[in-house]
Structure 1
Amino acid sequence: MKPPFEQVVEIHGATVLRVCRAVLGPRPESEDAWSETFLAALRAYPGLPPDANVQAWLVTIAHRKALDAVRAAGRRAVPVADVPERHSTIGIVRDRDDALWRALAALPERQRLTVAYHHVAGLPFREVAEILGGTPEAARRASSDGIRALRSALGGARPASTVPAPPTAKGTP
């Protein structure tokens, strides 16, 4: 029996937000993608099979909504009267977080998304490969290359991220 949708949001909401932020960065667009993910999921939830992996399903929806936001931003011109003289720090919590987000954003797209889906959302490489296309081995390699690049960019240290470890559920592969 499927849990009520409110419980699905409570259980998986943080994971979906972390995925949206990993793809879009710590900007308001990531929260918009989170909202759009759950609106789309709410419409489709009644038809979801009871044995479906809800987390993987939600991460797939979040992935698509985040990519939609990236594409929409690329089509939208933002007029400004004057060019700002300094970089905006809106949404940046700390310098360490800023460095982590910059390093993550600098990764090639496949590495960035694989790191986000596997290390942030906690999906196994098999499911990451299904979302992005390709094989689990290719996803594992992209993740490894991405983590190596992040360590290099952050001075070789393992970053103490503000992102909590993903929850583990019984019976999850």
Structure 2
Amino acid sequence: MKEPFERVVAVHGALVLRVCRAVLGVHTDADDAWSETFLAAMRAYPGLAEEANVEAWLVTIAHRKAIDVTRARRRSPLPVGEVPDEATAIGHPDGSDLDLWAAVKALPEKQRQSVAYHYLGGLPYDVVAGLLGGTPAAARRAAADGVRQLRAHYERVDAREGEGR
């Protein structure tokens, strides 16, 4: 028997938000994609097979919603003269890893998505490849390149901090 949908949200909500933020950045668009993900999931949940991988299913929905948000963002005018809402602390509990989110956001799109889906979403490379349109080897390479760039970023940060001492 499937678990209640409320439990699905409680168990997987933070993971889905981390994936949305990794793809869209830490702002309200990611929060909107999170909400849209769970609205769509709630509608489809009764028809989901009991043996389905709920986590992978939710990450797939989140990926599609993030693409929808990206497309909508391209069509929308940018507001001016308004102070943006502050991002919540969900996904970065003490707020100290905002630099990490910025570093992930700076990665090329395929690398950012591969890192998000594999390392944050826990999806195997064949599923990541299906989401991004490519081979598992290409998804693995993009994730490895993204992680290498993140490591290089932090090596530069550590070197700058060491010089300031």
What's the TM-score once normalised by structure 2's chain length? 0.83
State which drifts further: 117-126 or 91-100: 91-100
Matches within 5 A, 1:42-61: 42-61=42-61
Q: Which runs of 5+ in 2 are unaligned?
A: 159-165
Greater Cα offset, 149-158 or 59-68:
149-158
Q: Which has the higher helix share?
A: 2
The 1:156/1:148 distance shift into structure 2, 3 A limit, reads farther
Change (3 A) 1:79 1:36: closer
Given that residues 28 and 85 in structure 2 are in contact (C-alpha distance below 8 angstroms), is that contact kept between their aligned partners in structure 1?
Answer: no
Deviation, structure 1 residue 99:
2.4
Change (3 A) 1:89 1:100: farther
The amino acid across from 1:75 in the alignment is R
Whichever residue aligns with residue 91 of structure 1, its letter is: A
Residue segments in structure 1 that go unaligned for 5+ positions in a row: 159-173
C-alpha separation between the residues in 1 aligned to 2:114 and 2:96? 22
State the 1:156 CA deviation: 5.9
Q: Structure 1 residues 136, 156: closer, same or farther in 2, change over 3 A?
A: farther
Q: Moved runs in structure 1, 4+ residues, more than 2 A?
A: 78-82, 88-99
- Please tell me the root mean square deviation across aligned C-alpha atoms, in Å: 2.5
The answer to whether the 8 Å contact 1:92/1:98 transfers is no
Match of 1:69 in 2: 69
Distance 1:48 1:17 in 2: 21
Identity of aligned residues (%): 58
Secondary structure of 1:77's match? coil
Say yes or no: does 1:36 pair with 2:32. no
Q: Between Structure 1 and Structure 2, how many residues are aligned?
A: 154
- The residue number in structure 2 matching 1:80 is 80
Kindly provide the CA deviation profile for residues 34-85 of structure 1, in whole angstroms up to 9, marking residues without a partner as x: 1110000011111111111111110010011111111111111124259x9x
Aligned partners of 1:95, 1:117: CA distance in 2, in Å? 22
Question: How far apart in 2 are the matches of 1:118 and 1:135?
Answer: 14
**2:85 & 2:43 partners in 1: Cα distance?**
36
Partner of 2:113: 113
Q: Closer, same or farther in 2 for the Cα pair 1:4/1:98, shift >3 Å? A: closer
**Residue in structure 2 matching 1:91, options 87, 98, 102:** 87
